[in-house]
Structure 1
């Protein structure tokens, strides 16, 4: 699959939306203890004192400031004035989804490969279909998809492909593995020998 161009990896001219791993500087005017630098977690949430957990991903810094003001107003501070500034953005992220232990957005640090991306997401789950891993990528405005086999990569049959910012990796689901698990769980109820032809 071809590499994305520099233009493919740039975001469009829209208001910046907060995302996982972004570093924010939050100031609450007149309340020094609540003014701090914080990082959005991997799931896009921010845990802020007195307020609790806020779903920050997808909000602009101004919208997050408004939400913090709303939650602080009345109960803790009479008229809170909150500013949120972006200190550091992790715009270089990939999405790892499907049958992995921890689906989500992950930063691309250095040279990232498919195997490293899956490992970063906690590895494959019990029901992963290792020969059904798809990388979706935008190149010159076209949506491309490449099908990969993690078993073959592990055996060295072909090289571990590099992944780039904005790639989406989806690890397939093995219905056969699910069926096998269900049959094994039901096996105490089966009184005759059971022979299963299993292909992952």
Structure 2
């Protein structure tokens, strides 16, 4: 009987300790009032990350656009997608390149091509229907990992929010962002706690970014232990009763 009480006391102590540890992992740091940090830390690989949203947008493969030719409905198209080669197919013109151009530049290019094809004074407007090229992968210790569409100008904190935030076993000081570049895949490290406080750069996302939230190994141990406690407790009591 004394041995059984000893086991119960140890389990209660571990449960309380684990609960405190898990609750600590879920806490949110107090924001620091004032201007948020916009300085990239090169020692963490952040040199190619920026806090400044682009003022113009260049069309990319998979984006959907609508092309309207004034008073020429047969030459107009709705929600046409740029192919993987960055080209788009339009009536009379066939497949023409679009990726890398702004909507204004593409309007001018389509107008020039229609004029050369015999259409008098073509008036063309181009609108982006869907930024389908803007996808970010969020994985690791987040509540709902997956691939998410985002609007141009969205930040790293938005990617974490789309995945429903860090889990209670997340290591918020360890976020790795993988980004493709002409030099290959670059990796930068960010601290979500510092981003939440405004003391670290919250970078603008780029299409194809991969965000990985790290895991606190100690918290994982405690969580697994807590999940096993009821079964372990029942097994221990049953074994003692049988003896």
Q: Give 1 or 2 for the bigger CA radius of gyration.
A: 2
Q: Which has the higher contact order (CA 8 A, sep 6+)?
A: 2
Higher strand share: 1
Higher helix share: 2
Task: Output the TM-score relative to the length of structure 2.
Answer: 0.41
